[in-house]
Amino acid sequence: MSQDVAPQAGNANPPLSSSEPILRTSQLKKTYRTGFWLNKVVTPLKSCSLTVQSGETFGLLGPNGAGKTTLLKILLGIIYPSGGQGQILGKPLGDRSVKQYLGYLPENAYFYDYLTGWEFLEFVARLFQIPRSVQKTRIPELLDLVALDRKSARKKQMRQYSKGMLQRIGVAQALMNDPKIIFLDEPMSGLDPLGRSQVRDIIVSLKAQGKTVFFNSHVLSDVESICDRVAILALGELLCAGSLDELLGQQQDSFRVTGQGGDPEQLRHLMADVEFHGSQWRGQYVGDPEVLLRGIHAGQAQILSLSRMRQSLEDFFLHQLRARGIHTSR
């Protein structure tokens, strides 16, 4: 964050028409020179072209060292590309006037842990030159959004916070300026299942507010459950991008079925891999769905949900890596 931007929280109007993507890149590339004589060239990002629409939750996937953080830093204007170009909110990448509309949580964020959570958010608000009158309502709202207790945030130093609490205060600071697009670098990294669930809920709530969320992750189940579109980056190259339906496809005659009631033996005869949980059950069906519905009705059972099956994002991800000769442990 820099002190040369002074947004008025909630009143920002970014320079972007409703028909334009909120983010667009074309053949972005980044190279570094390393070694004692700077005679070695490293290219963490080779060519990256993608678009993100306003209001999307966009997930960038890739193994460690894929170039995800490099791309994120270029989008934020922290580093500059060696080639290619891009726009964010209608302005060229690196344009300082856009930064007031961006929020960012690094993967390994550094916090002044002798501060309380409330004091830290006040510090961030001052960096953005947000008036104290606005801070009085904005800080409690953010604490509520990320499910941190207001009283505890006033008294408890961040050195006493758990990993999950630090991640949530990190999300709160990224939202202090009421950004139009929020960048999260591995937001679920190192969290236990409860912490991951809490961060997922926060991202879903941001989407409900119309925010655009762009996040890097290698936790594929989280990406599959909350993202509108995803892209896969490996060895600095963008392998593919699209919605989950576009990438994973759907098996036209295969269905996942959940329901309740009915005769267990008849259900096992009708479907495969039937599992029972009390009065409810779930199974897989291949064939004409009309035949399934007649069989369920004849067995006096009730269908609660019926959805077409598709391969998992994890299987698709691993296939994309193997197809390009990238080693995977599985």
What does the pLDDT look like over 174-187, one tens digit per residue? 999 999 999 999 99
22, 54 contact by CB (below 8 A): yes
* Report field, pTM of the whole predicted structure over 0.85: no
Residue 328 is predicted with a pLDDT of: 65
Angle at 68 between CA 49 and CA 203, to 5 degrees: 95
Residue 64 is predicted with a pLDDT of: 85
pLDDT exceeds 60 at position 291: yes
Q: What tokens were used for 318?
A: 């691993």
Band the pLDDT of 52: cuts 50, 70, 90. very high
- Can you tell me whether residue 224 is helix, strand or coil? helix
**Range of lowest pLDDT (49-63, 96-110, 293-307):** 293-307
Q: Does an H or E element contain 34, and which?
A: strand 23-34
Residue 11 is predicted with a pLDDT of: 46
pLDDT exceeds 80 at position 250: no
pLDDT exceeds 80 at position 50: yes
Residue 278 is predicted with a pLDDT of: 83
pLDDT exceeds 70 at position 169: yes
CA pseudo-torsion sign 74, 76, 80, 85: positive
Residue 76 is predicted with a pLDDT of: 95
Q: What percent of the chain has pLDDT over 90?
A: 53
Band the pLDDT of 272: cuts 50, 70, 90. confident
Ordered alpha helix ranges (H), the chain: 68-76, 117-127, 132-145, 150-155, 163-174, 193-208, 220-226, 244-248, 264-270, 289-298, 313-323
Residue 3 is predicted with a pLDDT of: 38
**Range of lowest pLDDT (12-16, 198-202, 234-238, 318-322):** 12-16
Residues 287-297, mean pLDDT to the nearest whole number: 87
Residue 16 is predicted with a pLDDT of: 57
Residues 144-173, mean pLDDT to the nearest whole number: 94
Residue 125 is predicted with a pLDDT of: 96
Q: Answer with the residue of higher pLDDT: 122 or 221.
A: 122
Band the pLDDT of 59: cuts 50, 70, 90. very high
Q: Which amino acid is at 3?
A: Q
pLDDT exceeds 50 at position 1: no
**Range of lowest pLDDT (74-78, 196-200, 232-236):** 196-200
Residues 108-121, mean pLDDT to the nearest whole number: 93
Band the pLDDT of 5: cuts 50, 70, 90. very low
